[in-house]
Chains A and B, each alone.
Chain A
Amino acid sequence: MKLTLRVWRQKNADADGTMSTYEVDGIAKDMSFLEMLDTLNESLILSGEDPVAFDHDCREGICGACSLVINGEAHGPERTTTCQLHMRAFSDGDTIDIEPWRASAFPVVKDLVVDRGAFDRIIQSGGYITAPTGAAPEAHATAVPKPAADTAFEHAECIGCGACVAACPNGSAMLFTSAKVNHLGVLPQGAPERESRVLDMVERMDAEGFGGCTLTGECATACPKGIPLFSITRMNREFVRAARKRG
């Protein structure tokens, strides 16, 4: 496959960026999208140019490091992570636009790499449970009802990649925040901080400069892990409940 790539190049956080055009040839349909970028970078290095910086780690869809907006869609045209997207989703001769996550809370570090530290700070503000350290507790010490376990697991699938923020027209982090609030909130282990968690995490989310939710549904459509839009509904309910009790 021969492709034309239009890639966002930005030297550093303060520099102005621009879309640069590159031609890549010899791309196999079975290559992953990141392997295609590796091919581009090899040719850039050989010709003495600066390779394109992009985030990646596990390359098996579980770490949440990869973060590219491909043709205007977070993680590209399939419902998966960029690393699990394969070139067979494209055709020979295609022009592909590759951009970083766009949100003021996710400043560009270089090229396609953005700083997602805001997510870490949201987690720090309440995405934890209080548990004694030491030996692992007896697994059956706390009974977890099956529906609660299912709901918790559904929300625990979030890998914190930030596709929800990238896809949202308001740059909102509601889906990410609600995934963690619900994951821990429905479990008995998370019950002691149930109220303070949602209040603190929403406060942090707002302080980081993320936008509000207008329920466009773009986030849940982009989410590679299928966190449902109703996760946000559930967090809204939790927030009002906690505000009434004042955490």
Chain B
Amino acid sequence: MEGCVLTVGLMAALDTRTDRRPSFAGLLWGSTVGKKTAMAVSGIVMLLYLVVHMLGNLKIFFGAGTFDGYAAWLRTIGEPFLHHEWFLWIARVVLVAAVVTHAVAAYQLSRRDIAARPVKYARPSPGRHPRWRRFAPPLSRRRRASYATRTMRWGGIILGLFIVWHILDLTTLTVNPHAAPGHPYANVVATFSTWYGDVIYIVAMLALGLHVRHGFWSAAQTLGAGSAARDRALKTTAHALALLLTAGFISVPVAVMTGLVS
């Protein structure tokens, strides 16, 4: 009898034990909060890459020799410790991992979000529909989700498609009109000499600016770095990053269009 009570007691104790949780990675990927952490980290990896990429692109303003030389140098980073192009391939693997993590998490979370709110309100909230806002009563609360916030999903899809086109255009040269391996300067000029090349690129870079604007600030909140005191600094950084990246990237097609780079 006593043994029986003891067993029941032990079982109850085991039932309430809390040390049987999944691993750190399992806890993160298995919850909405943790999955956002994965998105934030992968987003920041891509953001850091984009800053370097944008600064590298600006070398096009120093002429074909400098730009092509820079492109060749990228393949020699880490030599002789790393073999030729190894650094580039390591960077590519990291970036693909970041893109895949970011996209898979976004897809899974978005499906969940849409399922969690299946019925729309008969009258949309005034903040989200600026046309209606003008007629809202004066006491109406304002400040709602910004344009950048509401376009995160579509913006992400646009950027994903752009990356595919961008790689086919300037890495594999599959769709490049000039397609001369080892001559990136001429290839870039060829792409931006077509109207569709300019349109695709500029639209994608505007989408990038919006995505980074909400994404950077959002990542800071997801990683727990935000606070009321730090909010202004984080928002300013997000705006500055978005503006600099968009302006920096777009300056290249604009320079080709205006004949500054040819």
* Chain A positions near chain B (C-beta within 8 angstroms): 6, 8, 19, 69, 71-73, 77-79, 89-91, 97, 99, 102-105, 167-172, 174, 196, 199-200, 202-203, 205-206, 209-218, 221-222, 228-230, 232-240, 243-244, 246-247
Contact = CB atoms under 8 A, between A and B. Distances in A.
B116 A234 contact: no
Contacts of A209: 115-116
A238 B223 CA distance: 10
Contacts of B227: 230, 233
B224 A77 contact: no
A99 B149 contact: no
B122 A99 contact: yes
Nearest to B227: A230
A228 B231 CA distance: 12
A167 B125 contact: yes
| Size class of the contact patch on chain B | 35 or more
A230 B113 contact: no
Contacts of B28: 240, 243
B32 A212 contact: yes
19 contacts: A72-B122, A77-B136, A78-B141, A99-B121, A172-B113, A172-B116, A199-B27, A210-B116, A212-B36, A213-B36, A214-B149, A217-B143, A222-B141, A230-B226, A230-B228, A233-B227, A239-B33, A246-B24, A247-B18
A221 B34 CA distance: 24
Contacts of A172: 32, 113, 116
A205 B32 CA distance: 9
Contacts of B139: 77-78, 89
B224 A71 contact: no
Interface string B195-224: 000000000000000000010011011111
Interface string B112-146: 11111111111111111000000011011101110
Given A218-B144, A246-B19, A203 B149 contact: no
**Most chain A beta carbons < 10 A, residue from B18, B128, B150:** B18
A53 B147 CA distance: 37
Contacts of B144: 216-218, 221
A214 B156 CA distance: 13
A-B complex: 3 closest residue pairs judged by Cβ atoms:
A237-B224, A211-B116, A171-B116
Interface of B: 18-19, 21, 23-24, 27-28, 31-37, 109, 112-128, 136-137, 139-141, 143-145, 149-150, 152, 214, 217-218, 220-228, 231
A105 B137 contact: no
**Most chain A beta carbons < 10 A, residue from B28, B116, B127:** B116
**Most chain B beta carbons < 10 A, residue from A6, A71, A104, A200:** A71
Given A170-B117, A239-B31, A217 B123 contact: no
B27 A246 contact: yes
B62 to A, nearest CB: 40
Contacts of A239: 31, 33-34, 37
Contacts of A222: 141
Given A171-B117, A211-B114, 12 more contacts: A71-B123, A77-B139, A77-B140, A168-B117, A196-B18, A206-B31, A210-B32, A216-B145, A217-B145, A234-B224, A236-B221, A243-B34
Contacts of A202: 31-33
A206 B137 contact: no
B85 to A, nearest CB: 36
Contacts of B32: 172, 202, 205-206, 210-213
Contacts of A78: 139, 141
Contact of B116 (A103, A199, A200, A230): A103
A114 to B, nearest CB: 11
Contacts of A247: 18-19, 21
